[in-house]
Amino acid sequence: MATLFGTAYTRDELTRRFGDTSQLGGITLATLEGGVRAALFNTGSGFRYTVLLDRAMDVSSADHCGRSLCWRSTVGDKPPAFFEPDGFGWLRTFFGGLVATCGLTYHGAPGTDEDEAMGLHGRITVVPAANVALRQGWVGNEYEMALTGQMRETSIANIPTGKNIGHNLLLTRTISTALGRDSFTIHDHVENQGFNDAPFMILYHINAGFPALDEGSRLYAPVIKSTPRDADAEEDAANYDRFHAPREGYREKCYFLDMQSDPDGSVRAALANPNLDEGFGLYVKYNKEELPYFTEWKMLCAGTYSVGLEPGNSYPQGRAKERAEGRLTFLKPGETRAMTLEIGAITDLAQVESP
């Protein structure tokens, strides 16, 4: 049943009350300024989010009852043509947003791995979706909404030198929700459609922002151990899960968090502001077997005021270091991996504080 405005409705009860479902919610396809194709989701509960079809179906913005869940950068929703792959050029097209996908054959710090130069966080986020399919309609008493598309990260081999074997990874993504919900699900399926083993690295850069993030906000997560990435993070390591107001000149701090999973393998991490109404924030739920590593990106600088909740299949330290430390995953020809995440709004601290 769809729960709207505090009441649960059957399909028959609800459809008697409107002419077209768009009165309450649905998916609207649009083209944003700059030519970026987008899908605008509205669940009718006050939860809205934007999926960029030309940016790997990443989620560029999200709000609940008009309050933003995520941080948005000064870059805006840039089309793929502006992408700069070298060094830290990735940041010139990083819109922040609720979800930015990093990977698929590398992510993390720029560097070189086996003679291949790699920039920050990989290329998949600027690959436009193909074979896009939209579905919305009643299934029993649920009005379901889903969007599916495919993004291919590929290159041919470096023919003159014989180095850098060309990889061919296909990401099929489905983003789905239903009328009345305060959350959505991302289901990703990655297949190696090439004929050589391919490195596979993926990280979900989920970026909390004001007002979910503010002075007094907290990270609520089943953390077993927090490990600072470097000397900057060690300075305030005891407060990895506490957040202060923006400061000029703040240097980013990253923490690698070992999470305790539930018996079914799931982990739920949330960032919430307890000082806003009954509490306001966002959460991500994922499976630790699919995404065994979790990084907290703490960036409390004025203007770049964000905290990243980042489940992944490796840490964002660059492919060479992940290879050397034994965390680099490979897909054999024809091999697949599937990842499922649920991301949603926190509107009451009871959602994160209950046992």
Predicted local confidence at residue 176, as pLDDT: 98
Question: Taking every pair of C-alpha atoms in the chain, what is the biggest distance, in angstroms?
Answer: 67
- Residue 30's CB: how many other CB atoms inside 10 A? 11
Write the pLDDT tens digit of every residue in 207-226.
999 999 999 999 999 999 99
Predicted local confidence at residue 355, as pLDDT: 46
Residue 241 φ then ψ, to 5°: -105, 15
Q: How far is the CA of 351 from the CAs of 220, 279, 347, in angstroms?
A: 10, 9, 8
CB within 8 A of 282, min separation 6: which ones? 62, 69, 70, 98, 206, 208, 212, 270, 271, 272, 343, 344, 345, 346
Predicted local confidence at residue 353, as pLDDT: 76
What sign does the CA torsion over 240, 243, 249, 254 have? positive
Predicted local confidence at residue 308, as pLDDT: 98
SS3 per-residue string spanning the chain: CEEECCEEECHHHHHCCCCCHHHCCEEEEEECCCCCEEEEEECCCCEEEEEECCCCCEEEEEEECCEECECECCCCCCCHHHCCCCCCHHHHHCCECCEEEEEECCCECCEEECCEEECCCECHHHCCCEEEEEEEEEECCEEEEEEEEEEEEECCCECCCCECCCCEEEEEEEEEEECCCCEEEEEEEEEECCCCCEEEEEEEEEEECCCCCCCCCEEECCEEEEEECCHHHHCCHHHCCECCCCECCCCCEEEEEEECCCCCCEEEEEEEECCCCCCEEEEEEEECCCCCEEEEEEEEECCEEEEEEEEECCCCECHHHHHHCCCCEEECCCCEEEEEEEEEEECCCHHHHCC
The CATH number given to 24-353 is 2.70.98.10
Write the pLDDT tens digit of every residue in 313-334.
999 999 999 999 999 999 999 9
Q: Domain map of the chain by residue range?
A: 24-353
The span from the CA of 44 to the CA of 27, in Å, is 11
Write the pLDDT tens digit of every residue in 114-134.
888 999 999 999 999 999 999
Print pLDDT tens along the chain (355 aa): 999 999 999 999 999 999 999 999 999 999 999 899 999 999 999 999 999 999 999 999 999 999 999 999 999 999 999 999 999 999 999 999 999 999 999 999 999 998 889 999 999 999 999 999 999 999 999 999 999 999 999 988 765 655 656 799 999 999 999 999 999 999 999 999 999 999 999 999 999 999 999 999 999 999 999 999 999 999 999 999 999 999 999 999 999 999 999 999 999 999 999 999 999 999 999 999 999 999 999 999 999 999 999 999 999 999 999 999 999 999 999 999 999 999 999 999 999 975 4
Q: Is the pTM of this model over 0.85?
A: yes
Predicted local confidence at residue 166, as pLDDT: 79
Measured between alpha carbons, how far apart are the two ends of the chain, in Å? Answer: 26
